[in-house]
Amino acid sequence: MRGQAFEKGRGCHVESDPPESYTRREDILSARPGDTAIFEGSITDLQQRLAARGYIADTGLAVSLFLALRLGRPLFLEGQAGVGKTALASAIAEALETDLIRLQCYEGLDITHAAYEWDYARQMLELRILEASGAIDRSAARRELYSEAFLIKRPLLQAIDPARTRPAVLLIDEIDRADEEFEGYLLELLAEFQMTIPELGTVRATEPPLVILTSNRTRDVHDALKRRCLYQWIDYPSFDKELAIVARRAPRASAHLARQITAVVHELRAAELYKAPGVSETLDWVAALTALDRDAPDLESLDATLGVALKASEDIEAVRGERLAGILARAASR
Ligand SMILES: Nc1ncnc2c1ncn2[C@@H]1O[C@H](COP(=O)(O)OP(=O)(O)OP(=O)(O)O)[C@@H](O)[C@H]1O
Ligand SMILES: [Mg+2]
């Protein structure tokens, strides 16, 4: 019946009358009501599960993640480059033993790459076949051509697909790189875990995903989007936390080298450089010096490998020489 919600409890419905030219289809939309509690443990359990996957989360981050899971709210992570925003999404997906669906944002990202697209080539082919077989029923053909079989599901639709039996982790990475209009498109998805496809109706998740958005703050993300999310700033880690990360991520490195390089990186972060090194640079530096068979950093090897940690020539020039010697001496006394 037109204008009426689909069966209650099927997890989805068409909100309003589709225009005459559209075809409503229940097959893509049909699903069981959700009953999967994806995480029932405590905050400490969550931290331990992440740690078992090599991700060290301090209490503030673990509480935010726990609440995102419990309240079913998206988690918006902001922080400098290389502080573990993207890695958190992978780690939590592994910890929850579920799929990680990743949408990498970029300028010009549009719905056809983010949400869904009709497979026009296959639709045309199918149309030819229908024409060749004669006796085309126009409305049946329309229904057929705009059915799930011809829909290419991109990450956002994959994440709310009612066919999912377990909530996925949806990572919307580097949202600040996408255009502002794209943020507007996300509002319905993040508030209701649903998406309207004009030709099909409204698709609503029965197992809503855990959504993690990240931003490097290259521009401000709109308040309307942030309001729908829990917010967490991820700062550079403390010395002890970073040492724990290095121990987990670079277990083959000598403990002394790990400690010294972590200390050098902390000194560099305090040095007001154009681009401070992130955790990835610490890990890369430890790996580089380990590959050079160093158990402890010396001025010569640090100087030769500065480009592993610093990615701006101004910074390398500013640090090289006496300043680096001073940094190494202070790091050694840690
Ligand atoms: N808390 C952490 N526990 C374990 N590994 C970490 C942690 N923080 C960062 N890392 C490691 O540091 C590296 C960089 O992390 P990641 O790519 O997630 O940073 P990011 O914040 O997404 O950076 P960018 O903004 O450049 O994308 C990864 O190898 C990641 O595993
Ligand atoms: Mg990232």
Pocket-forming residues, ligand 1, beta carbon under 6 Å: 54-56, 79, 81-87, 216, 245, 249, 279-280, 283
Question: Mean pLDDT for the chain?
Answer: 87
Cα–ligand 2 centroid distance for 266 (angstroms): 20
Sheet containing 230-234: order of strands = 100-104, 169-173, 210-215, 75-79, 230-234
Question: Which amino acid, 82?
Answer: G
Q: Which whole number is the average pLDDT over 20-40?
A: 48
- For residue 14 the two structure tokens come to 């068409």
Decide if pLDDT at 2 tops 70.
no
pLDDT in tens, 36-72: 468 889 999 999 999 999 999 999 999 999 999 999 9
pLDDT at 27: 41
Cα–ligand 2 centroid distance for 58 (angstroms): 18
pLDDT at 320: 92
pLDDT at 226: 92
pLDDT in tens, 253-293: 999 999 999 999 999 999 989 999 999 999 999 999 999 99
pLDDT at 31: 39
- For 207, what's the count of Cα atoms within 13 Å in the CB-facing half-sphere? 21
206 CB burial (10 A radius; 0-12, 13-18, 19+): buried
Cα–ligand 1 centroid distance for 306 (angstroms): 20
pLDDT at 182: 93
Q: Which whole number is the average pLDDT over 318-333?
A: 92
**Nearest CA, atom 5, ligand 1:** 55
Q: Which whole number is the average pLDDT over 169-182?
A: 95
Cα–ligand 2 centroid distance for 220 (angstroms): 17
User: For ligand 1, what atom is nearest to the CA of residue 50?
Assistant: 3
pLDDT in tens, 86-142: 999 999 999 999 999 999 999 999 999 999 999 999 999 998 888 888 767 888 888
- For residue 68 the two structure tokens come to 């995102």
Cα–ligand 1 centroid distance for 86 (angstroms): 6
* Mutation test residue for ligand 1: of 215, 243, 249, 265, the one with most atoms within 8 Å of CB: 249
C-beta separation of 150 from 27 below 8 A: no
The β-bridge partners of 79 are: 234
- For residue 35 the two structure tokens come to 């009953």
The structure's pTM equals 0.86
pLDDT in tens, 138-158: 888 888 899 989 999 999 999
Q: Please tell me the class of the 1-115+154-235 domain.
A: alpha beta
**Nearest CA, atom 6, ligand 1:** 84
First-last CA distance in the chain: 74
Q: In this structure, which ligand is nearest to the CA of 51?
A: 1
105 versus 295: which is more confidently predicted?
A: 105
- Residues of the chain with pLDDT > 90, as a percent, come to 73
